[in-house]
Structure formats: structure tokens, C-alpha cells
Amino acid sequence: MKTTVRTGKNRRFVVTPVPQGVSVRMELRTCVYNPNIWDLAALFTLTPDQAGALIFGIEQALEAAGTAQDRAAAKFWTPAP
């Protein structure tokens, strides 16, 4: 199963399983001149442990961002009279 995440008009992140063994291939692709040609900008092959660590790091970053946003919103909140 292949997953593609568009991160901008000219960028996408592609995740695919590697047929040989238990690992995941992650590609960062860019499109500069021709919208039908996507160039490989970066390639990573992750083991299950590495993929799990990446997922954990993303979850922690999102949680921290949400907490910061909640604190910022609470600063400007005033109770109704």
C-alpha cells in the first residue's frame, strides 16, 4: 500500500513498503518545471523501530503544538458575566 501526502503545490511525501524484508521506504519528491515530472529529493528506508520512533516524535510534536495553542487561546478567554 502506497501513501502520498501533498505538502505543497510542488512537493509530496510518499511512503511505500519495501518488498524485501520488513521496512518502509519514504521519498520526498519535488516538481519544479513540468507538473508531470516529479524528482526525487530525498530517500529514507526505515526499520519498524525507526518508523515507530518517527511516529512517536510526530505525535509528541503535535501534542506540544496543541498544548501551546490551547494556552494561547486561554490567555484571551474571559468568562461570561
Per-residue pLDDT tens for 21-69? 788 999 999 988 887 888 999 999 999 999 999 999 999 999 998 888 8
- Residue 32 near residue 11 (C-beta atoms within 8 A): no
Residue 2 predicted with pLDDT over 70? yes
Torsion, Cα of 55, 59, 61, 64 (10° steps)? -160
**pLDDT attached to residue 67:** 85
pLDDT at residue 77, as a whole number: 65
Closest CA to 14 of 51, 56, 52, 42: 42
pTM: 0.69
* Rounded Cα–Cα distance for residues 24 and 11 (Å): 20
Q: What domains sit in the chain, N to C, each tagged with a CATH number?
A: 3-75 (2.30.31)
